[in-house]
Amino acid sequence: MQHSAWRPGTITANGMRLAHEELGAPDGAPLLLIMGLATPCTMWPESFCRDLAGRGFRVIRFDNRDIGRSESVKRTLDINLSLDWVRVRAGLRVRAHYTLHDMVADTVGLLDGLGVARAHVAGVSMGGMIGQLLAARHPERVESLTSIMSLANHPWLSIPRIPILRLARVRSAPDPSREGFIRRQMAVYRAIGSPAYPPRDEDMREAFGRAFDRGYRPGGVMRQAHAIMATPCFEDQLPRITAPTQVIHGLADPLVPPVNGKRCARRIRGARLELIPGMGHDLPQPLLPRIAALVAANAERASQAIARSA
């Protein structure tokens, strides 16, 4: 039986309505994809998701809170990203609407609502941070972990050549029109994308148009960026991860320098590290088969570990 169409749904998890989609056989091994800052789940490339579904996975992707078709958080605080950027680097705590730990709780609630006891997890950028914290704090829920172009929020090592607050400012700039959004996103991804694998303008226009149509909220972008700032460095929790882990990082990443991926891999017991020359802070089409193969191989490593312990 073919399962070639996305199956959309909505689940209330941790008090938030989260929109999700599934692809592939319902009885396949669950593979949860967690997207990064300010991007809905549709930014997981279609060919990548279909490749994984074709390998037998039950692919699950979802919109994090404050983006896409998921619920927005009510604004209760004024956000000053510039000031809080300085506070974090001075070792001070930042008060925010929520932190990445709340987003981890969202993710656990989503798995509960879907009836998934354990899942393979792959996260990109902020999604990789959520995945790492999920695997560290809820090891019983994570079968394997793939962390792509991510970090553990070290206050100094995580400083990019293009700071996250500048990226958030660009993404929340004036001109709320669809065309204005597409132009801004194209400018951002030309700056942070893979120099060896530049995307075609028509592909970017299609992807960002789809993202805008799914639901773009500048306030949500700011709150997600603030949540990253407000989450203290969690390197000390990485040794608690027991799931087989694959770390993937581009050597040309200008937003999250590759030292972050290397550092995470060193602190996660048994983690494998794949450094890709010419890859920036995006998922370039030519690299998708390689990344999908790494995700699948890591999941197989988890299955072999379970078989050996049986």
What pLDDT score was predicted for residue 74? Answer: 93
Longest dimension (CA), the chain: 58
Q: State the pLDDT at residue 44.
A: 98
Res 175: pLDDT = 73
The pLDDT of 201-209, averaged and rounded, is 97
pLDDT tens track for 218-257: 899 999 999 999 999 999 999 999 999 999 999 999 999 9
Provide the pLDDT for residue 91.
85
Per-residue pLDDT at 156: 76
User: How high is the pLDDT of residue 306?
Assistant: 74
Instruction: Look at residue 285 and tell me whether its pLDDT is greater than 50.
Output: yes
**Is pLDDT above 50 for 165?**
no
Confidence (pLDDT) at 1: 44
- Is the separation of the CB atoms in 14 and 64 below 8 Å? no
What pTM value is reported for the model? Answer: 0.94
pLDDT of residue 155: 80
Q: Helices in the chain by DSSP H: which ranges?
A: 46-54, 81-89, 100-114, 126-137, 164-171, 178-192, 201-215, 218-230, 259-267, 288-309
pLDDT tens for each residue of 75-131: 999 998 888 888 888 888 899 999 999 999 999 999 999 999 999 999 999 999 999
User: Dihedral angle at the C-alpha atoms of 88, 281, 209, 228, nearest 10 degrees?
Assistant: -20
Domains and CATH numbers, the chain: 7-309 (3.40.50.1820)
Strands 7-13 and 16-23: antiparallel
CA gap 198, 279 in Å, rounded: 10
What is the number of residues in the chain? 310
| pLDDT recorded at residue 162 | 47
Cα–Cα distances in angstroms (integers) from residue 135 to residues 146, 212, 306, 308, in the given order:
10, 31, 16, 21
